Amino acid sequence: MTRRSYVQIDGVLYEKGTEPRREPGRAYPSVMGDLPDFVSPIDGKSYSGRTGMREHNARHNVVPTADLKGLPPMPATGDTRHPQDIARDKAARKERVIHMVNQHVR
């Protein structure tokens, strides 16, 4: 006796290979595997799976870098100003320093 496999779609069982084609643009459920174990760069502890990731994020008040995808990059210094504002402030500081140096040289 051969073994048969079935697929359930919208509550209807179909023998595998005979199920209706998927409609483009329609959402379908999917099964995702668990996350691999990882060692935290913050505390050096090992965490396992999605539960471990949630625990780590809550404990250290952080978010996974994947959640930041699509956001504009921010300076690594923790400065939350827009990069153009930072560049303008740097230019203004540079001008002040040049002015102070020139005053002392005279």
> Residue 41 burial by CB count (10 A; 0-12/13-18/19+): exposed, middle or buried?
exposed
**Averaged over 89-102, what is the pLDDT?**
86
Name the H helices within 15-82: 49-60
- Which pTM was predicted? 0.43
Name residue, tokens 């779609």: 9
Q: Specify the DSSP class assigned to residue 28.
A: -
Of the ranges 13-22, 26-35, 52-61, 67-76, the best mean pLDDT one: 52-61
pLDDT at residue 52, as a whole number: 93
Amino acid at 104: H
pLDDT at 55: 94
CB 15 within 8 A of CB 6: yes
What DSSP state is assigned to residue 21? P
| pLDDT for the residue numbered 46 | 94
Q: What's residue 54's pLDDT?
A: 93
